[in-house]
């Protein structure tokens, strides 16, 4: 459980986070979205006690991070995969971290195994690829078997295999009942990973919602073409869908998915020429939400 309450962080004259409040609950992956410079990393740094809040507070399991006696047993964080001393081996890096929170050395071998680095445990981290460092960072986050996990842009720079691996890992953590907060500036990534979304821009909360709600709010829908549009409209409306006709004769249906529409049409013997989910609408929704919130927006020529 993570609670951000009226959090404000100023660096000199720059307001990075401005009166931000939201909660992150266990058992779900919460995507923390916003354009670059929106204040995602700052919020995470304040949450981990690395930066001091100007006002407001950030709580983990009801307490400030610095009050946690052995924080790695409650919170696992991956902020910057590059933040490793290159001269230290993967094993030694995890071993000092384990020592710092009273965790046994056996656990180090376990997490190395879990992230697939057991074979390179005795190699210096300086020679690791970005993907391997990312895995080492995740191993560090898992050391204390924490109930709360924070990942700051975990898929940046990863290859497709690595991206899928992280996605599966986070889904798995949520399924185990842990609290998972993942920041990203890519809605397309969060659409595949997250259950809930916290969207911020210029340090302020823009949306705190579920992925489904956001999709519905911006009318994701299904595009349907049929030679008998009027009849189909009636059938689908009766089945609980809402139908809008576009100028080109296509229908946009919300409230029913592709399978529902196919079943209802087939039951009445109405031919369908096209049934397709309207793609990329979450991306559009995100762009519309954050359109005014981008810190470094490009100016059209």
Partner 1 sequence: MTDAIAAEWCKLRSVRSTAYVLGTVAAFLLLCAWWSWYAGRYWDGLSAERREAYASAPPEQPLALALPICGAVLGALTVTSEYATGMIRTSLAALPRRPRLLAAKALVAGTVMLVAGLVSTTAALAAGKAVVGDRPLPAFERPFAEHVPHLLLMAVTAAAVTLICTGLGVVLRSTAATITAGAGVLFVLPTLATLLPAPWDERIWSVMPGNLADQIAPAPGVTVRHGVLPPAAASLLLVAYVAASLGAGAFVFSRRDA
140 in contact with partner 1 (CB under 8 A)? yes
Among the listed residues 13, 52, 62, 301, the single contact to partner 1 using CB under 8 A: 52
Which segments within 144-295 are labelled E, that is strand?
A: 148-152, 179-184, 196-201, 204-210, 222-225, 242-245, 251-254, 274-277
Among the listed residues 21, 63, 96, 246, the single contact to partner 1 using CB under 8 A: 96
Pair 243, 236: CB distance under 8 Å:
yes
Q: How far is the CB of 178 from partner 1 (least distance, A)?
A: 17
140 versus 155: smaller Cβ distance to partner 1: 140
70 in contact with partner 1 (CB under 8 A)? yes
Question: Dihedral, CA atoms, 82, 84, 89, 91, nearest 10 degrees?
Answer: -100
Q: How far is the CB of 7 from partner 1 (least distance, A)?
A: 14
240 in contact with partner 1 (CB under 8 A)? no
Q: How far, rounded to the nearest angstrom, does the alpha carbon of residue 13 sit from its chain's CA centroid? A: 29
Largest CA distance in the chain: 71
Q: How far is the CB of 59 from partner 1 (least distance, A)?
A: 14
Interaction with partner 1 in 72-91: which residues (CB under 8 A)?
72, 75, 77, 79-80, 82-89
**Angle CA 53–134–76, to nearest 5:** 45
Instruction: Quote the CA–CA distance of 166 and 36 in Å, as a whole number.
Output: 21
Stretch of residues binding partner 1 (CB under 8 A), selected from 62-70, 266-274, 275-283, 287-295 = 62-70
Instruction: Quote the CA–CA distance of 273 and 229 in Å, as a whole number.
Output: 11
Give the footprint of partner 1 on this chain (CB under 8 A): 11, 45, 48-52, 65-66, 68, 70-72, 75, 77, 79-80, 82-89, 92-93, 95-97, 99-102, 140
């Amino acid at each position: 459980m993570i609670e951000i309450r009226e959090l404000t962080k100023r660096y000199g004259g720059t307001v990075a986070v401005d009166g931000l409040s939201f909660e992150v609950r266990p058992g779900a992956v919460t995507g923390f979205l916003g354009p670059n410079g929106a204040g995602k990393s700052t919020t995470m740094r304040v949450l981990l006690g690395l930066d001091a809040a100007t006002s407001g507070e950030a709580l983990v399991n009801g307490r400030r991070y610095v009050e946690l006696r052995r924080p790695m047993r409650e919170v696992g964080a991956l902020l910057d995969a590059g933040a490793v001393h290159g001269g230290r081996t993967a094993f030694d890096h995890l071993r000092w971290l384990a020592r710092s929170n009273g965790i046994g050395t056996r656990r180090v071998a376990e997490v190395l195994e879990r992230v697939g680095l057991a074979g390179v445990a005795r190699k210096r981290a300086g020679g690791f690829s970005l993907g391997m460092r990312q895995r080492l960072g995740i191993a560090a986050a898992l050391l204390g078997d924490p109930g709360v996990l924070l990942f700051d842009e975990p898929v940046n720079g990863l290859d497709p295999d690595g991206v899928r691996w992280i996605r599966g890992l986070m889904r798995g953590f949520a399924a185990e009942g842990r609290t998972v907060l993942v920041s990203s500036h890519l809605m397309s990534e969060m659409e595949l990973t997250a259950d809930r979304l916290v969207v911020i821009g210029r340090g302020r909360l823009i949306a705190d919602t579920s992925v489904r709600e956001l999709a519905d709010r911006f009318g994701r829908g299904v595009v349907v073409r049929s030679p008998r549009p009027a009849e189909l409209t009636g059938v689908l409306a009766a089945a609980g869908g809402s139908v809008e006709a576009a100028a080109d004769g296509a229908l946009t249906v919300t409230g029913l998915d592709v399978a529902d529409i196919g079943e209802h049409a087939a039951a009445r013997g109405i031919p369908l020429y096209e049934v397709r989910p309207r793609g990329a609408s979450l991306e559009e929704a995100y762009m519309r939400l954050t359109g005014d919130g981008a810190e470094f927006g490009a100016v059209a020529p």
